[in-house]
Amino acid sequence: MPDDLLRYRDEFPILQRTTYMINNSLGAMPRGVYDSVREYCDVWATRGVRAWEEKWWEMTREVGDEIGAIMNAPSGSVSILLNVTSCQAVIASCFDFSGPRNKIVYSDMNFPSIMYFWEAQRSRGARVHMVRTDDGIHVPTERILDAIDEQTLLVPVSHVVFRSSYIKDAKAIIEKAHRVGALVVLDCFQSLGCVPVDIQALNADFAVGGVLKWLCGGSGTSYLYVRPDLAKKLEPKLTGWFAHEHPFDFEVGATKYSEMPYRFMQGTSNVPGFYTALPGLRIIREVGVDRIREKSKKMTARLIELADQRGWKVNAPRNPEVRGGTVAIDMPNSQEVCQELLKRDVLVDFRPKAGVRFSPHFYNTMEEIDRAIQTVDEILAAMAVTAK
């Protein structure tokens, strides 16, 4: 069967020069980014300060809606911030940890930055409860559900685990949290753009992530979705003039909070980041995450099959339904193998406790999967010869 998604390969220049399988870290740059960034320069050069009023102020909403469309979020419900860690800070600033409901529940499979942030909130009264993994791939859902109780305030968890690509049962976690009055911050960094996310069906309270991985959008653009009925009630203390109802009145004194998407912002946005984000977001929307997911499952299955044939340890779920877009493989000398792969233009990365992470996206071919693993064979053979 011809692979219709391969017609997008020409949109990504780096695919002509490398075997690009590092989408869990940084997606390939779409060709359209050159024109988009030029447009930013042209607007700045020709319209100067008028660009704020004519375009840039509203671009937050435009980019937020592009991202929102991929997760079925209502228009205007997604704010743009710099990174996922600062999204946690804005969320944390909406709450008070001095009362009995001050428990933060997450698993040790979270991205470390999220843990570093919440651990640091202990000094502000937050009680952090970390649920642990046994196998380094997943944490049993029941274990997370059991930890969420009447004293739980927030549950900041990854939808797809960065280390193993395990897809958490977000629905079960959100349902349990809501039953006991807690709120869930779903980190969709490793899911959105690769695994279908319907944020309204999930009924998540917050969703965060960035565009630089599976959304092929570059750095400095992260999203914060807040459930619209909840957003109205929250008043972030990490705030600034962008979140004011009348920012250009420059009123003195306490803020009057605006509506979403500006309500959770602080100061001047990273406008160049908007321009780098849009081309990738538009391609992902056009391709459609369902088609991406279908192909991704085949590619990750092939990676596992090839690793199994060689007896290498696979640190990814075997069940395709709970496996995201990445397969981490711990072959002999993984770290050195990774360095050699990079030298040979097979772009992957290495993570301790995981191995070499292969993250193909919709624009990769099955031949590239086979070639990447054959390149590992060649590297290991060369290492064996040198060792003799």
For ligand PLP, the binding residues (CB under 6 A) are: 83-85, 111, 113, 158, 162, 187, 189-190, 210, 222
- Classify residue 43 by burial, with Cβ atoms within 10 Å: 0-12, 13-18, 19+: middle
What is the smallest separation between the CB atom of 86 and ligand PLP, expressed in angstroms? 7
Question: Cβ 214 to ligand PLP, closest distance in Å?
Answer: 10
What one-letter code names the amino acid at 101? R
Give least dist CB 222 to ligand PLP, A.
5
Q: Which is nearer to ligand PLP, 263 or 357 (CB)?
A: 357
Nearer to ligand PLP among residue 23 and residue 375 (C-beta): 23
Cβ distance to ligand PLP smaller for residue 61 or 168: 168
Residue 152 β-bridge partners: 103
Displacement of CA 114 from its chain's centroid (Å): 12
Between 205 and 257, whose beta carbon lies closer to ligand PLP?
A: 205
Distance CA 20, CA 154 (A): 37
Residues in the chain: 388
Tokens of 137: 């791939």
Longest Cα–Cα distance of the chain, Å, equals: 75
Under DSSP, the state recorded for 101 is: -
| Of 2, 14, 20, the residue nearest 361 (C-alpha) | 20
Smallest distance, ligand PLP to C-beta of residue 31, A: 24
Question: Least Å distance between CB 368 and ligand PLP?
Answer: 23
CA distance linking residue 218 with residue 216, whole number of Å: 6
- Determine the Cα–Cα distance for residues 150 and 90; give it in Å rounded to an integer: 23
Q: How far is CA 292 from the centre of its chain?
A: 16
Residue given tokens 């538009």 in the structure block: 282
Give ∠ CA 8-9-13 in degrees, rounded to 5: 125
Q: Which is nearer to ligand PLP, 166 or 312 (CB)?
A: 166
Q: Kindly report the three-state secondary structure assignment for every residue of 54-90.
A: HHHHHHHHHHHHHHHHHCCCCCCCEEEECCHHHHHHH
Compute the distance between CA of residue 348 and CA of residue 337 in angstroms, rounded to an integer.
Answer: 10
Rounded-to-integer distance, Cα 348 and Cα 379, Å: 14
Nearer to ligand PLP, 66 or 187 (CB): 187
60 vs 110, beta carbon nearer ligand PLP:
110
**Minimal distance, residue 110 CB to ligand PLP, in Å:** 7
Nearer to ligand PLP by Cβ, of 187 and 205: the residue is 187
Q: Are the C-beta atoms of residues 109 and 134 closer than 8 Å to each other?
A: no
- How many whole angstroms from its chain centre is CA 25? 9
The continuous run of DSSP H or E covering 162 comes out as: none
Write the single-letter amino acid at 55.
K
Distance in Å, CB of 276 to ligand PLP, minimum: 15
CB of 72 to ligand PLP, least distance (A): 20
Q: How far is the CB of 67 from ligand PLP (least distance, A)?
A: 14
Q: Which is nearer to ligand PLP, 138 or 244 (CB)?
A: 138
Closest approach of Cβ 300 to ligand PLP, in Å?
A: 17
By beta-carbon proximity to ligand PLP, the closer residue of 273 and 279 is 273
Task: Check: CB of residue 175 under 8 Å from CB of residue 146.
Answer: no
- Give CA–CA dist 309/129, Å, rounded: 40
